[in-house]
């Protein structure tokens, strides 16, 4: 067996020399063309010089155009919250709930004693914690404007906002009358309108999928949902990250806004 | 003689049963997204179906065929009982367990990530674990094929390895090596995130690792079909194999070139430098060489059959061919589809032309034509040829078989040609519905309806196929003549070492993987700037 | 033509080998021609796939750097070319409507804020993946004014089917009038 193997891998074996030689030649040829010849023919400052050509073609990371033209700064404050899946998990959740419960005393006037609102303010009980946290931060930075909420969050630390979010997320969510179970979504809610870039509501807000930072919507007060959707549509609310909600809302007709608000609103 | 008939039948039946179900899913997908159906109110059902269809058709079905056929070849060509029979059953069991583990979360909507995984989207861990189990089950087969060949060679020193087994083991080694890319992606990138041990993933690296598997898997699917071209069809139509040596060269070229070319799937990706894209483009061009060699050798073998049957003239011999023989029919259809599919493939492989059709319906059309068409029709042919030897009963439904093959051929053409067309128009793949009323989309609507009609023909053909196989189990008992593979005009009496074993070619395959994939993978592993948060599918984490 | 039943097996073996070699040579020539075509178009039409590897943190795109919302859209560079910056996210591109001048060199810079997306512009050969963590850069030029669709072509979640944007190509004069008022142009409503 051994001497057979040595006969296979041997310079005297034409099969070995031809196959290895041809493969090597093919690789060297394609490497020469791909790493040196083609990049050198590109009209691009980055590719000038042999080393640059090779490094660029090999895919060594480098910044390129970003610094030539300084970015245009936003005219109004935009959301600066960084959303990651594990942002509000980890040890100390129980302590957070306790501290959050104390802090939440100031919220009960509008959002109810247990996070279920009697007024036209959003229900918070059982809402996803990253969604609550994001809005609280945006009220603080002014990315989301509200004459009522702005003074409420002044002076709260980042940890306070986290505690509040975790506390409200821990409360039992009010049973939903529609969206997530029985009544099937129809029309704009179910299918959106692809050519107008309106995705089904449920592809971010539950029932189909949950997008990090997007809240569930059912049940929420009708007036609240309507005012917010309209504010996204006309751009007065602009704290959605990179316009993801404005992109949807601005193409919706008034009838579609009403229909989707009806679908998600409380139906008691 | 096959002593492990139950083992082979178990593989084939499971393969064809799930194939039948996946065909139904495929047709349902085409129907609901066509203008024949309104917009589906739960688009996730569509994506679940795509995930299931792709997982079954891409991973489970062809793997089971290659395994079942491989076990049969090992016994039939080597004339020795299969070594490792219990292990073979263990591999089969792993595939069943893996498939069940994968399909349940998909059906529940926890894993609408498609069979291509697409991190940073992350679904339920059981889906990925299931896919890993399927791959591990198939690796048992890879090992058994190597072991059986090795034992035979020890017992027959210096004798030429039968062509069928040589090709079978080449396919096994190709799969063993190429599955490693996706396995690395699943084990080291996706599963840690799906199990909650980590929250970030380098999506660019995942795509590179997946491409390691994604292209060569096609050649693994194709191996049984090519084995049938070379070792079954010439015998079945009464001809001789034109050249045994050329056949071996074709198979070893697949082994060498199928693997280090996967980055041609990533021409439009930002994480790979253009140099490696070009290198992969050149090697992709090379992988057409074994196919072109095969086309020549098989056409010559078919011509021999015609002349042995009294065919005359430059083209007149075509008339002398046994056109009522299912193997002849399957081969012809397969070559026609391979021709069209291959021409399309040349466009995909070219660096520049690819940008017009990358990720459009064109690509769906391309791989359905090649895999669903040229390859699967040969899976049918293999089953038809092998079945009497497995059941000991006569294959009586010759007319039904011909109808089934015709239906599959026409159905596949009607399905995939419109897909190519709408792809050129810019229709993206894998959308649950389209607005055919939009300006510029109505032309797509007509074509999409056509392909849904083609899909209906495919469903009909698949049902017919299953019926034919099923009916055979209660047909008349016969004692089939001993199974033989094709004889070459010049049967080899001795072979150069390089063509009687796969060592040299496996070595080249690994070497080319290192040169063509080594640097991009290592660089991306170190590129922690590109680790991005996972996006959990099917519910908030 | 093939001799099916040769008189002398050695002659026939040599004959088959000779025919095979000729065919093999032809196959290699076909492959060489294909590769030569790829090289030629690469050299003379300067058609190259996106080639520079550049990273970007998808979680902070909206906070700082060139992909903040106010910096997205088309901007006129000092050399007269136009740079289009955009992001893909579940389930829209921002900007949703891209406006560019015809017959002007355009550089696209795009990245993703969440999962893998892709984009193509119908009726053109513009086609790129958009991946989180990486910036895709590619150059192009539009021949004439017109409207194009720009779908996302990679599965990005259950809302994927709705991820369509628009590209509006206007003539140079119209574009420079539009660009007079603002540093970043889009045709979003």
Please state whether beta strands B121-122 and B535-536 pair in parallel, antiparallel, or not at all (unpaired): parallel
d(CA C171, CA B496): 67
Verify whether residue B399 is a known catalytic residue.
Answer: no
Would the CB atoms of A27 and B272 count as touching at under 8 Å? no
Q: What is the DSSP string of B141-202?
A: HHHHHHHHHHHHHHHSTTPPPPHHHHHHHHHHHHHHHHHHHHHHIIIIIIHHHHTTS-SEEE
CB atoms within 10 A of CB B126: 20
B155 contact A CB<8A: no
The number of helices, as runs of H, and strands, as runs of E, in chain B is 20, 4
Question: Which chains have 3+ CB pairs within 8 A of A?
Answer: B, C
Q: How far is CA B363 from the centre of its chain?
A: 15
Contacts of C51 in chain A (CB under 8 A): 39, 56-57, 59
| Residue B186 token pair | 């699943």
Tokens 């290699």 appear where?
Answer: C28
| Chain A residues touching C76 at Cβ < 8 A | none
Instruction: For residues C134 and A35, give the distance between their C-alpha atoms in angstroms, rounded to a whole number.
Output: 21
Give the span between the Cα atoms of B103 and B115, in whole angstroms: 11
In the DSSP assignment, the letter for residue A99 is H
Q: Work out whether the CA dihedral B152, B154, B159, B164 comes out positive or negative.
A: positive
Classify residue B439 as exposed, middle or buried by CB count within 10 Å of its CB (0-12, 13-18, 19+): exposed
Look at B275 and A57 and tell me if their CB atoms are within 8 Å: yes
Per-residue pLDDT tens for B3-24?
889 999 999 999 999 999 999 9
Residue B67 has pLDDT above 70, yes or no: yes
Mean pLDDT value across residues B209-221:
94
Q: Minimal Cα–Cα distance from A140 to chain C, Å? A: 15
In chain C, % of residues over pLDDT 70? 91
Predicted confidence (pLDDT) per residue in B97-124, tens digit: 999 999 999 988 888 888 888 999 999 9
Chain C neighbors of B347, CB-CB under 8 A:
none
Query: Residue B158 CB: number of other CB atoms within 10 A?
Result: 10
Whether C8 shows a pLDDT value over 80: the answer reads: no
Q: Helix, strand or coil for residue A68?
A: coil
Mean pLDDT (10-residue bins), chain A, 268 residues: 62 91 95 89 70 86 69 92 88 90 93 88 94 96 94 94 95 69 71 94 88 90 94 95 95 94 74
Tell me which chain A residues have a C-beta less than 8 angstroms from the C-beta of C189: 250-251
CA–chain centroid gap for B270, Å, is: 28
Which three-class secondary structure state does DSSP give residue A193?
strand
Predicted confidence band at C1 (pLDDT cuts at 50, 70, 90)?
A: very low
pLDDT band at C51 (very low <50, low <70, confident <90, very high): low
For the cut 50, the answer to whether the pLDDT of residue B516 exceeds it is yes
Mutate to test the interface with A, among B46, B118, B250, B279 (most CBs of A within 10 A): B279
Sequence-distant (6+) residues with CB within 8 A of B395 are B384, B387, B388, B401, B468, B472, B475
Across the interface, of A7, A20, A58, the residue whose CB is closest to B275 is A58
Average pLDDT over residues C148-159: 94
Residues of C whose CB is below 8 A from A194: 161-162, 164
CA-based torsion, A57, A61, A64, A66: positive or negative: positive
**A193 to chain B: nearest residue by CA?**
B435
- Sequence-ordered strand ranges (E) for chain A: none
Tokens of B464: 């017919």
Helices B203-214 + B503-525 axis angle, to 10: 170
Q: Do B440 and C122 touch (CB under 8 A)?
A: yes
Closest B-chain CA to A187? B41
Rounded average pLDDT over C98-116: 95
Separation between Cα atoms, residue A227 and residue B193, nearest integer Å: 38
User: Is-contact B189 B125, C-beta < 8 A?
Assistant: no
pLDDT tens by residue, B339-352: 999 889 888 887 77
Residue A37 DSSP code: I
Out of 3.40.640.10, 1.10.1030.10, 3.90.230.10, 1.10.760.10, the CATH code matching A187-265 is 1.10.760.10
Q: Cβ of B44 under 8 Å from any chain A Cβ?
A: yes
Write out the residue limits of the CATH 1.10.760.10 domain(s) in chain A.
Answer: 93-170, 187-265
Position C6 scores a pLDDT of 45
**C97-101 and C164-170 beta bridge pairing:** parallel
Query: Mean of the pLDDT values across residues C74-95?
Result: 94
Q: Which candidate from B256, B278, B535 shows the least CB-CB separation from A34?
A: B278
- Give, in order, the Cα–Cα distances in Å from A68 to each of B254, B391, C101: 47, 73, 21
State the residue for tokens 């099937």: A184
In this structure, what token pair is assigned to residue C124?
A: 């053109």
Angle between helices B288-308 and B274-286 (to 10 degrees): 10
Which of A187-191, B24-28, B81-85 has the least mean pLDDT? A187-191
Give SS3 for A177.
Answer: coil
Partner residue facing B275 (CB), from A35, A185, A212: A35
CB pairs under 8 A between A and C: 142
Interface of B with A in 185-214 (CB under 8 A): 199
- Known catalytic residue: B429? yes
C contact residues 149-178, partner A, Cβ 8 Å cutoff? 157-159, 161-165
Q: How far is CA A259 from CA A268, B256, C163, in A?
A: 17, 60, 21
Cβ–Cβ below 8 Å for A37 and C165:
no
- Write the pLDDT tens digit of every residue in B146-172: 999 999 999 999 899 999 999 999 999
**Annotated catalytic residue within B47, B118, B219, B379:** B219
* Helix (H) or strand (E) segment spanning residue B535: strand B535-536
Quote the CATH superfamily of domain A93-170.
Cytochrome c-like domain (1.10.760.10)
Contacts of C75 in chain A (CB under 8 A): 69, 72
Average pLDDT over residues B217-228: 95
Indicate the range of A209-223, B512-526, C144-158 predicted with least confidence: A209-223
pLDDT digits (tens, 9 = 90+) for B353-362: 888 889 999 9
Query: What 8-state DSSP symbol labels residue A115?
Result: S
Q: For chains B and C, count residue pairs whose Cβ atoms are closer than 8 Å.
A: 208
- Contacts C16 to B, Cβ<8 Å: 242-243, 489-490
Q: Look at residue A268 in the predicted model and tell me its pLDDT.
A: 37
| CB A226, CB A97: distance < 8 Å | no
User: Smallest Cα–Cα separation from B225: which of B85, B75, B337?
Assistant: B337
The pairing of beta strand C164-170 with beta strand C146-151: antiparallel
Nearest CA in chain B to A37: B275
Judged by DSSP in three states, B211 sits in helix
Tokens of A53: 């050509």
CA atoms within 13 A on the CB side of C111: 28
The number of angstroms, rounded, from the C-alpha of C149 to the middle of its chain's C-alpha atoms is 14
* C91, C94, C189, best to mutate vs chain A, most A CBs in 10 Å: C91
> Which member of A23, A30, A194 has the closest CB to residue B278?
A30
Which 3 state secondary structure label does DSSP give B134? helix
Element of type H or E holding B417: helix B398-425
Q: Is A213 left (phi over 0), alpha (psi -120 to 50) or beta?
A: left
- The average pLDDT across B434-460 equals 92
| Residues A229 and A198 sit within 8 Å (Cβ to Cβ) | no
Task: Of B422, B451, B433, B362, give the one whose Cα is nearest residue B33.
Answer: B433
Contact at 8 Å (CB) between C89 and C156?
A: no
Give the one of A61, A79, A244 whose C-beta lies nearest to C54's C-beta.
Answer: A61
Q: What is B250-314 written as a DSSP string?
A: HHHHHHHHSSTTGGGGGTT-TTS-HHHHHHHHHHHHHTHHHHHHHHHHHHHHHHHHHHHTT--ST
Q: What is the per-residue pLDDT for C48? A: 63
Percent of chain B whose pLDDT exceeds 90: 85
Give the integer Cα–Cα distance in Å for B79 and C115: 53
- Length of chain B, in residues: 541
To the nearest 10 degrees (0 to 180), the angle between helices B398-425 and B326-349 is 10
Question: What residues in C contact A211, CB-CB < 8 Å?
Answer: 90, 114
- B282: contact with A, CB 8 A cutoff: yes
DSSP B62-129: HHHHHHHHHHHHHHHHH-SPPS-HHHHHHHHHHHHHHHHHHHHHHHTTS--S-TT--TTEE--HHHHH
Count other C-beta atoms under 10 Å from residue B417's C-beta: 16
C112 phi/psi in degrees, rounded to 5:
-110, 145
Q: What value does the mean pLDDT of chain B take?
A: 93
Give yes or no: B215 in active site.
Answer: yes
Element (H, E) at B532: strand B531-533
DSSP per-residue string spanning chain C: ---SS-SSHHHHHHHHHHHHHHHHHHHHHHHHHHHHHHHHHHHHS---------B--GGGTTTSSTTSGGG-EEEE-TTS-EEEEEEEETTEEESSEEEEETTS-EEEEEEESSS-EEEE-TTS--EEEE-BTB-EEEEE--SS-EEEEEE--S--STTGGG-EEEEEEE-HHHHHHHHHH-SSB----
Alpha carbons within 13 A on the beta-carbon side of B16 = 26
Residue B420 has a pLDDT of 95
Helix B85-107 × helix B5-32 angle, to 10° = 20
Beta bridge partners of C89: C92
Higher pLDDT, B3 or B232: B232
Does B537 touch chain A if contact means CB atoms closer than 8 Å?
Answer: yes
Say what the pLDDT of residue B303 is: 93
How much is the average pLDDT of B248-262? 94
């Amino acid at each position: 067996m051994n001497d057979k193997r040595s006969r296979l891998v041997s310079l005297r074996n034409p099969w070995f020399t031809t196959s290895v030689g041809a493969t090597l030649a093919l690789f060297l040829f394609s490497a020469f063309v791909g790493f040196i010849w083609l990049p050198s023919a590109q009209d691009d400052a980055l590719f000038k010089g042999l080393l640059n050509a090779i490094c660029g073609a090999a895919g060594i990371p480098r910044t390129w155009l970003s610094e030539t033209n300084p970015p245009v700064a936003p005219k109004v404050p935009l959301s600066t919250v960084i959303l990651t899946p594990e942002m509000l998990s980890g040890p100390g959740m129980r302590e957070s709930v306790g501290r959050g419960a104390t802090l939440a005393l100031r919220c009960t006037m509008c959002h109810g004693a247990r996070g279920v609102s009697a007024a036209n303010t959003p229900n918070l009980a059982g809402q996803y914690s990253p969604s609550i946290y994001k809005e609280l931060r945006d009220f603080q930075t002014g990315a989301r404007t509200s004459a009522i909420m702005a003074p409420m969050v002044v002076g709260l630390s980042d940890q306070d906002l986290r505690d509040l979010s975790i506390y409200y997320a821990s409360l039992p969510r009010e049973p939903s009358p529609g969206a997530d179970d029985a009544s099937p979504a129809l029309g704009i809610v179910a299918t959106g309108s692809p050519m107008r870039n309106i995705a089904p509501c449920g592809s971010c807000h539950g029932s189909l999928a949950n997008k990090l930072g997007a809240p569930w919507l059912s049940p929420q007060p009708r007036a609240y949902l309507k005012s917010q959707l309209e504010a996204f549509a006309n751009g007065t609310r602009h704290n959605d990250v990179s316009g993801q909600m404005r992109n949807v809302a601005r193409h919706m007709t008034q009838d579609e806004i009403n229909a989707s608000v009806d679908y998600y609103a409380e139906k008691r | 003689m096959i002593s492990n008939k139950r083992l082979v039948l178990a593989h084939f039946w499971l393969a064809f049963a799930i194939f039948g179900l996946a065909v139904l899913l495929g047709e349902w997908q085409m129907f609901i997204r066509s203008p024949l159906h309104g917009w589906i109110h739960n688009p996730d059902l569509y994506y679940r179906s795509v995930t299931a269809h792709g997982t079954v058709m891409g991973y489970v079905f062809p793997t089971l065929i290659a395994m079942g056929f491989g076990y049969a070849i090992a016994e039939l060509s080597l004339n020795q009982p299969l070594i490792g029979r219990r292990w073979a059953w263990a591999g089969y069991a792993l595939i069943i367990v893996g498939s069940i583990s994968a399909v349940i979360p998909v059906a529940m909507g926890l894993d609408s990530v498609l069979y291509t995984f697409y991190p940073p989207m992350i679904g339920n861990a059981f889906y990925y674990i299931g896919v890993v189990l399927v791959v591990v089950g198939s690796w048992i087969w890879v090992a058994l094929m190597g072991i059986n060949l090795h034992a035979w060679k020890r017992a027959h020193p210096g004798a030429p390895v039968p062509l069928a087994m040589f090709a079978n083991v080449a396919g096994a080694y190709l799969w063993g090596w190429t599955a490693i890319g996706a396995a690395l992606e699943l084990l080291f990138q996706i599963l840690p995130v799906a199990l909650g041990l980590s929250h970030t993933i380098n999506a660019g690296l995942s795509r590179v690792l997946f491409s390691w598997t994604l292209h060569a898997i096609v050649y693994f699917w194709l191996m049984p079909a090519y084995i049938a071209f070379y070792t079954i069809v010439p015998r079945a139509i009464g001809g001789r194999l034109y050249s045994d040596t050329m056949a071996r060269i074709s198979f070893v070229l697949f082994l060498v070139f199928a693997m280090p070319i996967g980055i041609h799937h990533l021409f439009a990706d930002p994480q790979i430098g253009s140099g490696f894209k070009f290198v992969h483009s050149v090697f992709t061009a090379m992988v057409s060489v074994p196919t072109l060699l095969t086309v020549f050798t098989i056409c010559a073998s078919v011509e021999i059959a015609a002349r042995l049957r009294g065919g005359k003239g430059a083209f007149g011999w075509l008339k002398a061919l046994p056109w009522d023989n299912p193997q002849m029919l399957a081969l012809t259809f397969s070559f026609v589809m391979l021709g069209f599919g291959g021409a399309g493939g040349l466009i995909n492989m070219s660096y520049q032309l690819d940008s017009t059709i990358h990720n459009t319906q064109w690509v769906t059309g391309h791989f359905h034509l090649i895999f669903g068409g040229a390859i699967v029709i040969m899976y049918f042919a293999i089953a038809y040829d092998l079945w009497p030897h497995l059941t000991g009963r006569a294959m009586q439904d010759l007319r039904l078989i011909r109808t089934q093959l015709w239906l599959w051929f026409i159905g596949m053409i009607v399905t995939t040609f419109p897909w190519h067309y709408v792809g050129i128009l810019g229709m993206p793949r894998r959308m649950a519905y389209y607005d055919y009323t939009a300006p510029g989309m109505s032309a797509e609507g007509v074509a999409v309806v056509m392909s849904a009609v083609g899909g209906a023909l495919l469903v009909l053909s698949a049902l017919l196929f299953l019926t034919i196989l099923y009916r055979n189990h209660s047909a008349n008992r016969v004692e089939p003549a001993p199974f033989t593979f094709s004889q070459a005009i010049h049967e080899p009496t001795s072979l150069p070492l390089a063509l009687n074993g796969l060592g040299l070619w496996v070595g080249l395959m690994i070497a080319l993987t290192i040169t063509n994939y080594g640097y991009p993978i290592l660089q991306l592993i170190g590129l922690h700037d590109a680790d991005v948060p996972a996006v959990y599918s099917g519910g908030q984490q | 033509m093939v001799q099916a039943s040769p008189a002398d097996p050695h002659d026939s073996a040599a004959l088959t080998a000779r025919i095979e070699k000729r065919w093999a040579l032809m196959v290699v020539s076909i492959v060489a021609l294909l590769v030569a075509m790829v090289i030629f178009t690469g050299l003379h039409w300067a058609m190259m796939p996106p080639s520079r590897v550049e990273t970007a943190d998808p979680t902070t795109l909206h906070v700082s750097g060139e992909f903040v919302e106010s910096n997205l859209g088309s901007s006129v560079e000092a050399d007269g070319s136009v740079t289009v910056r955009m992001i893909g996210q579940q389930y829209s591109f921002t900007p949703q409507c891209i406006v560019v001048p015809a017959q002007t060199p355009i550089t696209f810079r795009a990245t993703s804020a969440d999962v893998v997306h892709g984009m193509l512009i119908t009726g053109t050969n513009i086609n790129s993946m958009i991946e989180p963590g990486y910036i895709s850069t590619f150059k192009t030029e539009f021949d004439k004014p017109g409207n194009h669709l720009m779908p996302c072509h990679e599965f990005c979640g259950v809302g994927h089917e709705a991820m369509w944007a628009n590209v509006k190509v206007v003539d140079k004069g119209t574009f420079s009038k539009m660009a007079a008022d603002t540093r970043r142009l889009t045709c979003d409503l």
